[in-house]
A = this chain, B = another copy of it.
Amino acid sequence: MKVSIVGGSGYVGGEVLRLLLCHPKVEVQQVTSEKNAGDFIKIIHPNLRGITTLKFCSIKELKKCDLLFMCLPHGTSMKNIENLKKLAARVIDFSADFRLKSAKEYERWYKHPHTAEKLMKDFVYGIPELHRAEIKKAKYIAKAGCNATCTILGLYPFIKAGVIDMNMPIVAEAKCASSEGGNKPSIGSHHPERTNCLRSYKPAMHRHCAEMIQELNLKHIDFSATSVQLVRGILVTTHVFLKKKATDKDIWKILREAYGKEPFIRLVKEKQGIYRYPEPKILAGTNYCDIGFELDPESNRLIILSAVDNLMKGAAGQAVQAMNIMMGWEETTGLEFPGMHPV
């Protein structure tokens, strides 16, 4: 199967490319970058030196293919989709443009109107653990936001099980790596300023809340995001309050029921060792979402811990997993890397 990547010079585009170059079922036909058209890909993605001799091309040179990965900036996908969908029967879009079902909600969170409202319903929200059946039949997939993916996967089993006291707040805190911000330099991403920072970059009103609210059917979520010293990875600590006292066993049961058969969800709560809860550090390069928890014996608080590599399960890995499902291939194809320790 022939695939192409639109917007392949960014971090997410580069990660999709890496996965596809090692994927046994696909051939990468073209990778676009307006800025780097004509350059060897290895100049931008030095890890692919010796792996591919492809060069970037311009979006204007794109040929027809079987599946198009669109890694364009938010707000740009909806402007290009009409033209690009003529090139491929299947599209996986990485922007935020087609994640929401409501143009009104889109405008509320993104502060500008949606210009391709009619197409919104054609896209399936790309988290396989929530929408596997739909993805199987889909032609268009909207890759979920990285923070949204990590938060939703942690909360989903408990929302589904109906054990959370919805009169109490749901407080979710994401600790985020620098690659989440993309590859455009700014003073905020300048190494002397960004290194070792603990920066409250979005204490309230993070746009990914819109996805969490939609997918979990919430009224509101009290979400905050903090930048930390890490290149890849997200840890979300979600605090919910249960309707009634629960034991570890109760929580395990809920998690196992939701995710017992999921190939990319690991349940992590150890009594030994130092990696007792989920940690993004050991997930670099993997498609896992590790989920764990703790109960506060003094209150009905359940602390849910979920971790992903933002560029993998939070982006490129999620998209490849969705492609595998869509094509009827083994879901884990090309996503077998187990992660490193130590790293």
Contacts and interface: CB of A to CB of B under 8 A. Distances in A.
A342 interface: yes
A280 B49 contact: no
B200 A277 contact: yes
Given A39-B272, A169-B299, A228-B229, A47 B338 contact: yes
Nearest to A45: B341
A224 B195 contact: no
Given A175-B175, A237-B173, A338-B51, A274 B188 contact: yes
Interface stretch (A14-22, A93-101, A114-122, A152-160): A14-22
Contacts of A270: 43
| Most B Cβ at <10 Å: residue of A49, A192, A285, A297 | A192
Contacts of A276: 200
A301 B204 contact: yes
Given A274-B193, A280-B198, A47 B341 contact: yes
Contact of A338 (B22, B171, B275): B22
> Which DSSP category, helix, strand, loop or mixed, fits chain A's interface?
loop
A247 interface: no
- 9 A-B pairs with least C-beta separation: A192-B342, A46-B275, A203-B294, A204-B296, A191-B194, A229-B229, A47-B339, A185-B185, A43-B273
Given A45-B341, A222-B296, 17 more contacts: A46-B273, A47-B282, A48-B341, A49-B268, A173-B173, A175-B228, A184-B190, A185-B189, A189-B192, A196-B343, A199-B274, A204-B301, A224-B239, A229-B229, A229-B230, A232-B342, A285-B343
